[in-house]
Structure 1
Amino acid sequence: MPEWSAEGSNPHGDRRATRPGSPAVLAVDSGGSGLRVVLGTVQGAVLGQGESAQPVRTGTRGIDTGHFMEQLVPLVRGLLAEYGVTEVRAACVGAAGLATLGDALRAELPVALRGEFGVPSLALAADAVTAYAGALGTRPGAVVAAGTGLIAVGTDLTRWFRADGWGHLLGDCGSGAWIGRAGLEAALRAHDGRPNGSGLLLARAEEMFGPASGLPGRLYPRSDRPAVLASFAPQVAACAETDPVAGHILRSAARHMAESAAAVCPTKGAPQVAVTGGLFKMGDPLLVPLREELTRVLPHAGWVTAAGDPLNGALRIAVDLAAGTLTLPGEPVMLSVVTTKGD
C-alpha cells in the first residue's frame, strides 16, 4: 500500500513555454491565508504565479467581490503582461466559504472577470472541490483536506458529498485547531492536577503562551482563535512519541478524519482516497494512525498520494473547462460553471 503524503507533484507540471498571443487559463485559490494565482497554458503547463497575503474580506453579503477583484487584478495584469497573453480562455476560482458565503460572488464575479480580462467561461468552486481535483483529478473517491480546519469531500462523479467543515466551535474534528485545543486542555488538566493531563504539554504550552493561568485571557478575546489553537498542534505531534496523552490525541484525530472520509467515500466500485493540507506535514505521528484507521473503515478503497494542492486543482478544472472536457459534477454551491457573453 502506498505511503500517505500530504502533497505530490503538479499534474499539469510539464511547464512548457507558450508563444506570445497564445490563449491561456487562469486558476485562483482564495483562502484564509490570502489569494494565490496561476496563469497556465490551455494544456495545463504553469506559466507564472502570484499571490497576495491579504485574505479576501467577508461582509454582510458574504465574500466581498470588490475586495476579491482588488487583490486579483494587479496579480493577473502582471502575469498577462509578463507572458504576452492576450486571451484568457477559461478560469477557475476556488474559494473558502463559497458554499455558505458565496451568493454575491457567484452573481458578480463572472461579469467582473469578463469585463476586466475577457474571461468567457468561469468555474466557481468550493475550496474543498479544488482540493479534491488537485488530489484525485476526476476519479471517484474521497479527499480529507486538513489544516487549521478540516473537511472531507467525495464524489461518485454524479454528485458531491461533504462531511464536517463546520468550524472550530461546531466541528472540524481532527483538524489543527481541534488537536491544538485538545493539547491545551491536557496541559490545563496537568496544571490543575486532574486526570488525563500532560505535564509535557503543560511545559510546551507555557513556553509558547506564558503562564497557564493567563491562557484564557490571552486566547478568548482574539478573533484568530482557530489559528492560535492550531499553532499548538505541532507541539502535540512533537510529544506524541513519548507522551501517551499526546499520542492519544493524535490517534483520536486520525479516527475523526477516517470517519469523515468514510461518510463521503462512494460505497461501490474502486474509489480512491487521499489527504491534502498543511496538517499532514506532521508526518508519521499523525499519518501512521490515520493509515490504520482508514484501512479499518474503508477496506474497499485504494489509498493514493495526493497529486497536488487546491491551486493545482483549480488549474486542472480551468484546463478541462477550456477544452470542454470537465466531468466533475456541477452543484450550485460546490461547483458551478458560468459562461458570459461579450459586448
Structure 2
Amino acid sequence: MDWLNPESLASGFDTAAGTFPWGTTFEQLEALGVRPAYAEFGVSAWHVPGADVLGLRSSRTELMVPYRGRPVMSVRHRIDLPEGESHVNFVLRAHAQLVSQLAVPDYGEMQPARFKEENAWNVAVSAGWRVGNVSVGISWYGAPRNDEAEVKTSGVLFLDWDDEIAAAAPWLDAWQQEQVALEAMLREAHAVAKLQAGPAHEQALHRGNPKDIRALITAQRVLRGPSLHFTVPDFALLKGDAAADHQLVLWSAASGEAWGVSDIHNTVYCRRGETLRAQWVQVLPAKGGGSTDLSFGPLTNTSPYRPRERCGAIAQFMDILATMPGASFQYSETYDC
C-alpha cells in the first residue's frame, strides 16, 4: 500500500479519470469529458470507474451530490478484494495500514465473529477519522460481496466533504436575492387560506458552531433545497388566535404574479409559469401510531394521525391550493410499518 497524504483527501477526490477538487459539479465533470457508467436517483449519484485510494484498489466509485447542479460532497470507494487473497487476511492488513497512517480512529468497532461467509451484508470492522473538512470512514464486510462489480468487494471507503458553507458559496448570492424578493412579496401578500397544522420546524441539520447557525442553515438550503426559503420575521398573515408555530398559510402576492405556502420558519413559492407540487399522505396506524403528512415541495408538516373524515380543514385547504396557477395535488395512504 502507498503511504497516505492526508492533504489530498482534504482537497479533492480521486477517480479513474483523475483527481478533482471538492466543489466540482457533475456538469463540470461532463465538460471535462467524464461520464458515469450509470446514474442513479436521477442526477444525484454517479457510478464511475474507480482508482487507487489510500493504497487500496477500487474498481468502482460512487459520486453523490446533495441536489441537482450542486457539487460532489460524498464519495464511496468500493474496495476490491485482491485476486487470490483471503478476505479476512486482506481486511485485517488493510485496516491496520489505514490506522497506522490516519492514527487512532475517532470511532470504531471490530467484531471478528462476523467474518463468516454468510455475513457479506454485515460489517465486521469499521472506523472513522477527520481529515480537514472531510469525514473519512471505512466499513469492512464480514465476507466479500458480489455487488455488480467485476471483482469482489471487501468494504467501502466513505469520504464526505461537510464544509457546507464553502460548498454553497457559488450559489449563495443568487439564493439571497431570491430571499430578498420573497420578503418584499410576503410583506404585501394577502391570505388565501389558513390551516391549523403540526408544529413548524426549521428543516435543517444543525451541525457546526452555534454562532454560525443561520449561515449554516442557509447553506444547507442552498445545497439541498434551494426552493425552500425563510419566512419573513413576524409574518403578519400567521398572526391571529391560533399559535403561529402551528399554522400554515396559503398566500398570494399583491401583484398576482406569485403565490406560496408559509409556516413560521419556512416558505415555498410559485411564480407564474412555474409549478409547485403538494401531497397529503395519511400514514395509517400499524406498528406505529400513524401520522398526517403534508408537503408543499420541500416544505413539510407532520401532525398526529386523524382519520380522513376528521380532516375536513386539510381537505378544504388542499382543494383551494389546487386552484392556484401551477399547483398540483396528490392524496395517498400508506401504513406506519
| Greater strand share, structure number | 2
Fold agreement, TM-score > 0.5: no
Please identify which structure carries the higher helix content: 1
Instruction: Please tell me the TM-score bracket, short chain as reference.
Output: under 0.3
